[in-house]
Amino acid sequence: MVMVCYYTHLLTPVGWVRFSIAKPSVLRAETNNPMASDLSSDRSVFRGVSSSSPIRRRDLVFIVNPRGANGRTGKEWKKLLPYLQSRLGSDCNICESLTSGPSHAIDITREAIREGADAVIAVGGDGTLHEVVNGFFWDGKPVANWNTEAVHSTALGLIPLGTGSDFARTLGWKNDPREAIDRIARGVRSQIDVGVISREGEGSHYFINVADIHLSAKAGYYASRYKKFGNLCYVIGALQAFIGHHNQDLRIKVNEGEWQTLSQVTALCVGNAKYFGGGMKITPNADPHSGSLEVVILQDFKWYDFILKLHKLYNGTHLSLNNVTSRNVYTIEVDEISGGGNIFIQSDGEHLGFLPRKLSILPGAIEMIC
């Protein structure tokens, strides 16, 4: 007998166990073939597991976007299951939860944290990681375990299996899912910063990687339409964004100071980490352990500048250019001057709408398995 509520696949010492859920209850488990996980249409939310083992087993929730990278994420995840079982199955209760659409990973993460999961692991690209990070928060506050006497908090984990893995690059991780599983097995934690984006009258939005404004955000908006082309989607998105693009004067307020005017801004990037757009080292001095954000501002760039200087943007040497500036901040408010309401903003590749916005740092907001 296993205590379970609302989730589909549990990995136990004897293999994958699948449940037919009617309502929260104590259910009889039917043991299938250890390789039986088939990325079915069942959806799940972790609700907690009680083990008869005298040693408490870690409860791990793996959130998988099976359609990520044109379905490659689901296929690669299925191939990983035997190694996952051999590496973690003897010490952990494992819940596989497949997302069914946008924001589903946010809901799963919040439920997992409330029910006391030891870790929530994003399986996929930066988009899945972005949703999981947002699931750590609710109504402007961190989500809390319903068990107020719990001795552990829920950690964030990552198995990169998507179109882009820019955050993993910042941490120096190889794009190797088995290596990621080994990290999860060790369970070493480190506190990392999270960026928060706010606007008067709206809820907060969180980012772990890079938030960007104007041309780069517009390029990301278009790139999301071409995910089927892999990393080439970023190039296609940038080309489409250039059509009809005009540099704009913006105003900023740094660390609650006075408003400043920036002329002819091409892009403004706010980094908690270093990379975006499939490997572009846009905020090369950003560090998710630093307690601050790096702001990089590109001004008066022409279309041919990106062709001539693209290599500098990818290797992080663009800060030496005369029309590129960088500073570390704790908060930055950004608004347009023209009042057109058409300056794009995105974070971690997700379109958030248009200016104005305030971006701030939350130091050490999440524990991450590293």
Q: What is residue 302's three-state secondary structure?
A: coil
Task: Pull the structure tokens for residue 196.
Answer: 């928060």
Neighbours of 178 (CB within 10 A): 13
Comparing CA positions, the residue from 96, 55, 44, 106 lying closest to residue 74 is 96
- The sign of the dihedral angle between the CA atoms of 185, 272, 344, 244 is negative
Find all residues with CB under 8 Å of 295, minimum gap 6, and list them: 254, 268, 269, 270, 271, 283, 326, 327, 328, 329, 332
Q: Name the residue type at position 177.
A: P
- The sign of the dihedral angle between the CA atoms of 316, 318, 320, 324 is negative
Cα 246 to its chain centre, rounded Å, is 30
Q: How far apart are the C-alpha atoms of 135 and 81, rounded to whole Å?
A: 25
Is 126 a catalytic site residue? yes
Catalytic residue among 126, 193, 212, 348: 126
Comparing CA positions, the residue from 275, 274, 268 lying closest to residue 253 is 268
Comparing CA positions, the residue from 266, 202, 226, 191 lying closest to residue 349 is 226
The catalytic residues are: 126
